[in-house]
């Protein structure tokens, strides 16, 4: 094989590699949400009042909780919304993935009579 045909072979190999590079690279964006809708962030709902609001009031506004926990002298309603985002890039020589999970929570404590004793919301808000 002479020098010019060797050079042509190398150039064709380089062009083939560059042409195939996009086939072996890519990007993805993934997003998912789990749990209940975070209606506790909606300003249209009246605020819950300690000593006044009942379990029925909370369920009427927010729907069924993610979890109900019965403690010795109180009941706890736990609402959870989880959002997962992932961005990934795959190249021949470099790969990168970024993942983010965000939680939004509301928790309500009721006495034995089903009346609200206390409640709290997480600081984190998930975009709708």
Report the distance separating Cα 28 and Cα 98, nearest Å: 11
Map out the domains of the chain as residue ranges. 25-121
For residues 97 and 87, is the Cβ–Cβ distance under 8 A? yes
Residue 52's pLDDT is what?
A: 95
Report the distance separating Cα 74 and Cα 115, nearest Å: 10
Residue 94 has pLDDT above 90, yes or no: no
Residue 7's pLDDT is what?
A: 77
Percent pLDDT > 90 in the chain is: 41
Residue 86's pLDDT is what?
A: 92
| Residue scoring higher pLDDT (125 or 12) | 12
Q: What is the chain's mean pLDDT, rounded?
A: 84
Report the distance separating Cα 57 and Cα 78, nearest Å: 15
Residue 47's pLDDT is what?
A: 82
- Give the pLDDT confidence of 16-72 residue by residue, as tens digits: 666 655 656 678 888 888 888 888 888 776 689 999 999 999 999 999 999 999 998
Residue 58's pLDDT is what?
A: 94
Residue 96 has pLDDT above 90, yes or no: no
Residue 118's pLDDT is what?
A: 95
Q: For the residues 74-89, what does the mean pLDDT come to?
A: 93
């Amino acid at each position: 094989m002479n020098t010019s045909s060797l050079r042509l072979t190398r150039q064709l190999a380089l062009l083939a590699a560059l042409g195939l590079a996009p086939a072996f690279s890519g990007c993805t964006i993934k997003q998912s949400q789990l749990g209940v809708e975070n209606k506790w962030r909606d300003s249209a709902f009246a605020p819950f009042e300690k000593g006044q609001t009942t379990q029925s009031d909370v369920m009427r506004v927010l729907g069924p909780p993610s979890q109900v926990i019965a403690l010795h002298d109180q009941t706890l309603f736990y609402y959870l919304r989880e959002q997962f985002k992932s961005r990934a890039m795959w190249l021949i020589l470099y790969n990168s993935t970024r993942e983010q999970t965000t939680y939004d929570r509301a928790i309500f404590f009721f006495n034995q009579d089903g009346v609200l004793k206390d409640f709290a919301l997480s600081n984190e808000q998930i975009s709708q």
